[in-house]
Amino acid sequence: MTRRARAEVEVRRVALNMDQIQQYRPPPNPSKETDPRYRQYTRQYGEHCWELDALPPNVLDQLARDAITEVIDPELWNEAQDQEQSNRELISAVSENWTAVTQLIREEQT
């Protein structure tokens, strides 16, 4: 059985915008004349384009972290982390006592 969750999704452009191009100065590439968006793009941005992966990995990482941090509810985040830690401890306890756990389950089934 497959269930599909429905959720509202907001897509945000995190990188690469003109402010970041001016700040980090990645190497420019010539715009592709074969691209159907070429004319509109060159009117708006000029003859050059830039590749996202030209930014250093640590910059991309920080841009992503900053964008995520902006939308996280710290209280809910901390609650989720606490629940995750509690689950880890429970799994660890079950693992350490596997024989007793399986015996208990077998007894309940009979």
In this structure, how many other beta carbons lie within 10 angstroms of the beta carbon of residue 29? Answer: 12
Give the model confidence (pLDDT) of 30-50 as tens digits.
Answer: 999 999 999 999 999 899 999
Phi/psi of residue 49, nearest 5 degrees: -135, 170
Q: Is 105 exposed, middle or buried (0-12, 13-18, 19+ CB in 10 A)?
A: exposed
CA 24 – CA 17 distance, rounded (Å): 11
Give the model confidence (pLDDT) of 55-75 as tens digits.
Answer: 999 999 999 999 999 999 999
DSSP H or E run through 3: none
Q: How confident is the model at residue 2 (pLDDT cuts 50, 70, 90)?
A: low
CA 87 – CA 94 distance, rounded (Å): 10
Give the model confidence (pLDDT) of 82-97 as tens digits.
Answer: 999 999 999 999 999 9
